[in-house]
Every structure is written in structure tokens, then in C-alpha cells.
Structure 1
Amino acid sequence: MLITAPTLAIYNPEKPMVVNSDASSYGLGGVLMQQHNDGSWRPIAYCSRTLTPAERRYAQIEKECLAAVWSCERFDRYLVGLPSFAIETDHKPLVPLINTRPLTNTPIRCQRMLMRLALFNANAVYTSGKNLHVADTLSRQPLRTTTDSATTLQNDITAHVNFISSSWPASDEFLERIKDETAKDERLSIALNYTANGWPDYKEDCQLGARHLYQARSELSISDGLLLKGDRIIIPATLQKEVLGRIHQGHFGITKCRERAASSVWWPGISKDISDLIGKCCVCQEKQSTHEPLLPSPLPQRPFQQMAADLCKHNGRHYLVVVDYYSRYLDICFLSKTTSQAVIGHLKKIFARHGVPETLVSDNGQQFSSSEFKAFSDFWNFQHVPTSPHFPQANGAAEHAVRTAKHILNQDDVFLELLVYRTSPIVELKASPAELAYGRKLRTTLPAPQNPSYQSWWTNHPSIPATVNKSTTIIMVRDIFQTCLLVTLSSLNSTDTKLPPPQLLFLHQPSPYLPTPQQSFLPILPSVHLMALQHQQLPLSPLPLLPIVLVQQPSPAEVVRLKFLCDSNKGIKYMAFDQVAIV
């Protein structure tokens, strides 16, 4: 291009611009290119200069960053005010350094350079070195003079480096020790050489002693013989134990010690070393507070028996969130005022819809701790359980419901999203909140087959005995494995009674028939129409609702027994009938 394009193109700010920059060990080069209508790139301006003695000691990434920043400043009359332009470089680590990396994670010299680059709307792009022949040639044959702007930039960078180094919490004597030990450390010596002269393109090409620093190579720099990662000193292995002791002075916790280390020092694995040190510190272990084991709350036996309430704020509006412990059924109410009266008003609506709970759990907010709310709980006959102040974990159900509510409130159609939540199966329970609460599936926007009536299912089932009346009444029973209907283990006559399978259901007439001891039945309680067994090892997750059949017996000496062998995924898996004589 230097030969075939002896004249510069006319600058047009409407056309795409790109800055090619490159740095050698002794010079910088840059060229401003402009794309024309035929797709070709033509030069607008060239620049080059020789590095100063101090700049020649920069790390390679610092030289590349200096080339990009200095080139942009040389072409500032063309670039300032442009919506965007690209900086092409053949140094891959420079691309994230300019585009995405936080300023605090960059080498200290690059920090000051990037501050000056903030004047431009630049975006770094990697390109192969063979495509940067113009900038590469200029960097290898630079002008022998140093411009005033270069001197100003160098002084600016030096002042920034001195400011950062003066803030390191270490004496000059200790810094000298670090410098000496760094020079003696074989692994850090290799890293110093790579940082000064450039790292290999691939980790496998590095010497083994420096591979542990390869991932951090774009953040490494050298200042006065010290190897730095960003603005933190890399401590050689011989001094790491001593530095750990200084970090842990005062016996603060892991987080505080890590924050102290992040302000000045670094080495690979420093976070783990801090954790191990504190874990083995006798003083810290003696002072460490013990955590009491969590006390699980008793599981409610039916829907809306125990509920939790909490207030949340979303997009400047306040809401009351109420959740049922049993079914996880969720209600969200907008609060125009965050007063006890407003909260009580919405709770009354919820209780009128679902019934009054036995227990309501909430935090100690002023809405729930007022005398007005105390009078409300007494009159409506429910127990209000306030949790510990400033300890939201004690009301975990409500806190989780608040997170769910905020997700719902973020949607465009809040009510549709609330319906989706209520009808989505809970993974652990294989049933939705609506099914657990109401014993049926709610109709949604998803297509679904119509549920066949249980009457037709019962009438047309091929395994129904001929002696059974086809007009038998169908009774829907929910919460079979939570409430266990009306019979529990306390109704057993003997604790060593051999128990039948937990899915066994009994149907009989109101008369108090009593099975013989040889039959594996529960004692039948008087005036109980339907009973089920609560097994000690019964899983707590509820199963789908079962159609329970109330059978008209042909004679008082016979009873019909139904077995439902069920699982939570397929519903009724097997059903069989037999008639058992009662003695």
C-alpha cells in the first residue's frame, strides 16, 4: 500500500474508519484507513515514533496498548465525534482489555492509557499480523524523534504508576525483599521474561514454570522489578506464608481477609490458601459462632391449614403475597397503602375464598405486629406466628413466594402468568398447586383432552363384578396420603399388628363390622364409611386423586374390598375386587 497508493484519500466522516496499530521493541506505528464505495481501504494518515528508554521496558501488552492509544490521539481530529470505529491489532490479549475488561483488572500502565482512550468510541478487533503490514512496517522503521505528545503521555502514565505504587500497604524494605525474591524465583523469572518480551501464542509453547500464569498474561506487567497482576503484586513462593500472616492479622473472617488481599497482593490459589489458614487457626475456631441445626416445621395435613404472608415492593408498588404451606398455592394482592387495615382487608378476601387457616406465619413488620392485627387474628380464630426479627430464613416459605411473585409481576399478563404458576406441576410432588388445593385440574390455554366422567369409567370398566350395582355412587376423596382420611395408626389395637400395603382402601356399610384376627384388616370404627391406612414409611408426596366407590352390599355378612395400587406418575395402576365374609 505504501507503494501503490502514494497519495492520501480525502477524509469523509460518513464512511467506515479503522485504525491499524502495531508496536515493536523500539517503535510504534499506526495508519488511519477509510473504506470507499468500491470496497477498498485507502489511507487517510500515517504515524510512527520511537519508544523512549522507559517505554522500551514496558511489557508487550503495554506497548501494544500504547500504540493503539497514541495512534488514536494522533488522529484525534478525524476520530473524535465518530459514532464508532475499529482498532485493528495483531495482539489478541489487547482485544478484551479494550472492549470488556474492568479497568481495575488491567495493568496499571494500561489503566491510564485506557482512560485517555475513553475520549473515542473505539472497538478493538483482532486481525492477523500479515494483514497489518503497513503498521508493522512503520513500527519497525519509526521516526527517530519523539513528539511532545509522546512525552506528555509517558509522564501521565508514570505519574499514575507512582500513585498506585505509593498506595501499596508495604514498606520500602519489604518491597525490596519481594523484588529480590522475585528475581530468585525460577517460575516468576520466566514470567518476567515473557511479560517483557511477549508470551507465546499457545500455552503448550510456554515453559512449565510459567504455564500457571498463562491465563492471566493479559493482566501482567512489570514495575520497578516487581511482577504485577493489574495493580496487585505477585508474591513469590518464599514470602507467601509471611504475607498470609500479615493478611490474617486481627483474625478477621475469610471475606475480610480476601478483601485485604485483593487490595495489594496476589498469587495463584490465594483464596484457597486464605480459607485453609483460617480453617486451621485456633483463635478463629474458638471465636466462631456455632450454627444450630434447622428445626423443620410440621407438615400440614390439608390445604390452607397453614399459610404464610409477606409484603414485597416491585417497581415502586407494594404487594401482599400469601402462600399455602401444603399446596404452595399463591395469592398476590396490590396494596394501595401498607397499613394493617389494608393487609387485613385482603386477608379477609383470601380467607373467604379458601377458608380460615389454623396458622398464619409472617415477619414482625408493623402491619402484622399492630394491635389491630392481633384483634383480627383473635376474632377470625387463627394463630398468628411472627418470626424472629431480622431473620428472614425463619419465614422461608414466604420469602420464596416473594421471589416467585416478583417473577410473575415482571410478565406482561400477570393474571395469565399466575394461572400458569398455579397449574404447573411441582417437580417433587408431581402435582400442581391447584390440584393439591382443589383436587382438580384447572382449565388453561393449553389444549387438553376432556376428562372422562368417573361414572362412565365405573359403569364401563370390564373388571367390575356382575354383582355390583352399576348405579353406585362415586365419591371423590383428596389428600389420601396426607390426611389418611379418618383413620391413623392410633386406631390400631396393637402396635405389632401386621399392616397391609399402604394403598389399601376399605369400603363398608355404616354397621360396625369387625374382621377376624386372621384377616389383615384394620379394626373398623363405628359410623365410619371410608378408611385408609397410614403406613409409617408412607411417602409424603401426594398422589393423584382416586375415584372411591361406595358399594351397596347384597347382605350384611359381606363387604366389598377394593385395592388401588397407585403411583404418582400413572394414577391407578391396578384394581381388583373380591368379596370377604365377615364372621
Structure 2
Amino acid sequence: MKSLTRSYCWWETIDRDIEELSRDCCECARVRKNPVEVAPHCWERASQPFQRIDIDFAGPFLGLYFFVIVDSYTKWPEVKIIPDMTTDTTIDRLREYFVTYGVPSIVVSDRGVQFTSDQFQAFLKRNNIMHKMRAPYHPATNGQAEWFVQTFKDKLKALKCERKAVQFELYKILMAYRRTAQLESHHQSPVTTGKSPSMLVFGRQMKSRLDLLVPVNAQENSSREEGGNVRRFAINERIAARDFLGSAMAVRDSN
């Protein structure tokens, strides 16, 4: 919240006001986690975007199942509402992901039957993907996906989201998360980057309705509407213009 707010406005007590707003939110307090007892062990950071991805399932939650994919390097999250948690569905959603972002080198998951099945292992082998699985009975070792699963579930709970509105609210959560810088203050995140996922993926910040708060001068607006640079002519300058109602070129004064 602080990061996004400072991107558009500032006042003297901005940090304190935002902290008080968050602390006094009853719905956020109900789903807030207890302080971490010990510092979690972090995976070695990937060297480039979409080199290593963390995957996990969530659900049933509000009667729905979710497939979560988080890129280790950029923290770019994908959440898909799925009909079931079978191996076929898992492979299908990963293929869709690979088409968009490319084939990763490493996939990190838990030891669910979908991930340990011969079919899934053959799928990874065909794509030359190394499979790393977290330690049994210790979900925190799959930190990226596990942490984001809890994040978006907490957000949906805080919003008192109904099942019919889950997809819409999920879009808003993903938009906000992808635009927010992963700062050191986010102590629950396994590894921080100091930049937003969209900056690391696209090299620019994703545009949202918040950007409407930034004023744009009239000349820039005019150029955008025209689709490029605006040509200007001096008074009485002679120009050649095509007359689409006739068959010849007309030479006119620009009075």
C-alpha cells in the first residue's frame, strides 16, 4: 500500500496514516497470520525470469479449486480456477503457461500424487525440466507458491468474497500484486526483489486505473489521439492536399 501510494501522491504523515489504516482494518486483522517464529530457509535465487517456477494447489475454497504458479525470479503469480486437481488438468495448465512464458528449467512442487505420477514425470522429462520436491510434512519449503496461496486466500476472505465474484476479485488481486514492489518489509515473502513483478517481466510498470491520477498535458493527449506527431502549418503557407471528392490534386492556402 505504501509503495503504490507513494507512486502517485505524498503527504507528511503518509507512512503513519497507511499503517494505522491497515492496523485498524477489522477484516484484515481476522485473517492476519501470527508472527514467524524462526526465519524461513530460502531457496537459492534463480538467475533469470521463468527459470524456476513453484506450483501448488489450493482448495476446495469457496467450493472452487485453484492452481497457483509463481516465478521464483520475478515473483510473477498466475492463479487458474480449475475443475479438479488431476494430473491431466495440471499438465494442461502448465502447457498453457509454457506457451506464454516459455519452458522453465526447474519446477518446485510438493509430493502430491499429481506431481509424483508417472504421467507427470514423463511430461517433465519430455520438456527437460528438473523436478524438485519439498520436504514431507513441511510445506514452507515450497515457499513461493505456498506463501502466495495463503496471500490470495486471505485477500478473498478479507473481501468477504462470494463464489460468483471470485474470478473478478482474483483479477484485482493479481493486478495489485503484479504492480507492487517486493520490498524488504514484506518479511513473509521468501525472497524480495525491490521491484514489482511487472517491472522484472516487462521492464515497465503495468498500466492500471491508478495511472489516471497522473496528469497528462494537452499536447500529449492530442498526439495520442492522432496516433503520432501532429503536423503544423503556418498561416498562408502553401500546401498540397488531396481532394477525395474530385479527381485532381488541389493546391490551397492554409488560411
Same fold, TM-score > 0.5, yes or no: yes
Cα separation, 2, equivalents of 1:405 and 1:382: 27
Rate the CA distance shift 1:374–1:425 in 2: closer, same or farther, 3 A. same
Bigger-Rg structure (1/2): 1
State the aligned residue count: 159
Counterpart selection for 2:71 from 317, 320, 324: 324
Contact 1:301 1:326 in 2 (8 A): yes
Q: 1:294-309, aligned counterparts within 5 Å?
A: 296-309=42-55
Change (3 A) 1:439 1:394: same
Q: List aligned pairs for 1:148-297, cutoff 5 A.
A: 296-297=42-43
- Per-residue deviation, residues 309-347 of structure 1 (Å, max 9, x unmatched): 010111121111111111111100111011000011111
Letter paired with 1:307: I
RCO (CA 8 Å, sep 6+): is it higher in 1 or 2? 2
Give the aligned partner of residue 201 of structure 2.
437
> Structure 2 vs 1, CA of residues 435 and 348 (structure 1 numbering), >3 Å: closer, same or farther?
same
Aligned to 1:416: 172
1:330 partner letter: P
1:18-65 CA distances to partner (integer Å, 9 max, x unpaired)? Answer: xxxxxxxxxxxxxxxxxxxxxxxxxxxxxxxxxxxxxxxxxxxxxxxx
TM-score (structure 1 length as normaliser)? 0.26
* Aligned equivalent of 1:348: 95
Alpha-carbon distance in structure 2 between the residues aligned to 1:357 and 1:399: 19
Q: Normalization by structure 2: what TM-score?
A: 0.58
Task: Give distance in 2, aligned partners of 1:407 and 1:355.
Answer: 30
Give ranges in structure 2 of 5+ residues lacking alignment.
1-38, 160-164, 185-192, 221-255
Question: Match of 1:440, SS?
Answer: coil
Pairwise CA RMSD of aligned residues? 2.1
Q: Aligned match of 1:315 in 62, 81, 104?
A: 62
Q: Secondary structure at the match of 2:69?
A: strand
Deviations 1:402-421 (A, max 9, x none): 11221344445321221111
Equivalent residues of 1:308, 1:324 under 8 A apart = yes
Q: How does 1:5-24 map to 2 (within 5 A)?
A: none
8 A Cα contact 1:300 1:325, kept in partner: yes
Cα pair 2:58 2:65 within 8 Å, conserved: yes
For 2:128, the equivalent position in structure 1 comes to: 381
Matched-pair contact (CA < 8 Å) for 2:56–2:110:
yes
Query: Residues 152 and 173 of structure 2 are in contact (CA less than 8 Å); yes or no, is this contact kept in structure 1?
Result: no
Q: Structure 2 vs 1, CA of residues 416 and 352 (structure 1 numbering), >3 Å: closer, same or farther? A: same
Cα distance, 1:449 vs structure 2:
5.7
8 Å CA contact 1:408, 1:418 repeated in 2: no
**Aligned runs of 1:71-86 on 2, under 5 Å?**
none
Partner Cα distance (1:294, 1:427) in 2: 17
Q: In structure 1, give the amino acid aligned to 2:54.
A: A
Helix, strand or coil: the match of 1:431? Answer: coil
The offset of 1:366, in angstroms, is 0.7
CA distance in 1, matches of 2:170, 2:62: 14
Give the 3-state SS of the residue equivalent to 1:393 in structure 2: helix
